[in-house]
């Protein structure tokens, strides 16, 4: 198989981590957050997404959001590695989202992951106008987050490709849950518009079809193994990539067996990377049954080392 490098966007790509937000006793756990950032800065990731779905962004107040960014940037500076830091933004009022971008301009983020408006289900014209207004409100790059099964609205490819003409709309986190739509987007997108899959179980498949990478919550665990799948494909090693993915394929199923990021937080807590698996209501920790399954998987992984 030829390397897929020729199809890759010259800009955004690779393995991005939608970082969890650790809590302890109801508060932001700053010590655990610093530990996480330093840990993953030493792993082969290409960027962080903060405050998005996996980061429980909708349960953070504005001061906490700003603090998460500040701690992440401080920890990255101390680690000696500079990688892009994007922040997740969602909302159904375009005016409020524009004001949020204006407030966040001084936070030190490199770009934004912005979800389609949820619940209101605007038309395609409305979606185009919404994202155009947000692109006008910032000079930083925007990744669109298309996830219809959460928001209730699907940003179609025709609209997506129109938005891709905007200078600072640089890509999409694709969770359309429509294989045909995803494939057609990859076929027709501009070269400098990145498609990053957000469907962890489809990471390998999306890469083989030309996606530039993934925003992959499961990569909190076995980070290097996820990066290895992509690197092998880029090197033209289809068989090696498939073999590597077959060893990983059960992990996303385990980590999404209950609502995310509960399973991921439990794994990270048991691994000593965070001090508590605490979540904020309405999200709750994993069940006893899943906790046992996770701990068995951790023991099996340790046994293979």
Q: Which of 40, 86, 112, 145 is catalytic?
A: 145
- Residues 255 and 222: beta-carbon distance below 8 Å: no
Domain topology for 8-238: TIM Barrel (3.20.20)
Would you say the pTM of this structure is higher than 0.85? yes
Query: Is there a catalytic annotation at residue 145?
Result: yes
The 10s digit of each residue's pLDDT in 128-162 is 999 999 999 999 999 999 999 999 999 999 999 99
pLDDT at 4: 32
For the cut 80, the answer to whether the pLDDT of residue 73 exceeds it is yes
Task: Report which of 82, 89, 5, 16 is spatially closest to residue 49, judged by C-alpha positions.
Answer: 16
9 band by pLDDT with thresholds 50, 70 and 90: very low
For the cut 60, the answer to whether the pLDDT of residue 66 exceeds it is yes
pLDDT at 302: 78
The 10s digit of each residue's pLDDT in 259-284 is 999 999 999 999 999 999 999 999 99
Task: Find the largest Cα–Cα distance for the chain.
Answer: 54
CA distances from 48 to 2, 15, 72, 215, 257 (A): 29, 9, 9, 9, 23
Domain boundaries, the chain: 8-238
305 band by pLDDT with thresholds 50, 70 and 90: low
- The answer on whether 144 is annotated among ligand-binding residues is no
How many Å apart are CA 94 and CA 224, to the nearest integer? 38
Q: Which of 86, 112, 173, 189 is catalytic?
A: 173
């Amino acid at each position: 198989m030829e390397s897929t490098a020729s199809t890759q966007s010259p800009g955004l790509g690779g393995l991005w981590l939608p970082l969890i937000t650790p809590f302890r006793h109801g508060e932001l756990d700053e010590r655990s957050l610093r530990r996480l950032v330093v840990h993953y800065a030493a792993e082969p990731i290409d960027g962080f997404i903060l405050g998005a779905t996996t980061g429980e962004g909708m349960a953070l107040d504005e001061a906490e959001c700003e603090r998460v960014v500040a701690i992440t940037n401080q920890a990255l500076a101390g680690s000696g590695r500079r990688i892009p830091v994007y922040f997740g933004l969602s909302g159904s009022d375009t005016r409020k989202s524009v004001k949020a971008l204006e407030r966040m301009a001084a936070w030190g983020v490199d770009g934004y992951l912005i979800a389609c408006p949820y619940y209101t289900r605007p038309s395609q014209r409305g979606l185009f106008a919404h994202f155009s207004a947000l692109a006008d409100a910032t000079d930083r790059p925007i990744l669109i987050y298309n996830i219809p099964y959460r928001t209730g609205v699907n940003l179609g490819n025709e609209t997506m490709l129109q938005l891709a003409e905007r200078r600072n709309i640089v890509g999409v986190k694709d969770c359309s849950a429509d294989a045909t739509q995803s494939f057609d987007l990859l076929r027709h997108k501009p070269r400098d518009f990145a498609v990053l899959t957000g469907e962890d179980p489809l990471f390998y498949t999306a890469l083989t079809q030309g996606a530039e990478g993934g925003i992959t919550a499961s990569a909190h665990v076995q980070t290097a193994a996820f990066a290895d799948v992509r690197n092998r494909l880029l090197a033209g090693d289809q068989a090696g990539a498939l073999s590597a993915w077959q060893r990983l394929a059960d992990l996303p199923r385990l980590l999404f067996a209950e609502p995310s990021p509960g399973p991921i937080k439990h794994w990270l807590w048991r691994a000593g990377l965070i001090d508590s698996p605490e979540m904020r209501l309405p999200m709750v920790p994993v069940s006893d049954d899943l906790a046992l399954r996770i701990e068995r998987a951790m023991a099996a992984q340790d046994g293979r080392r």
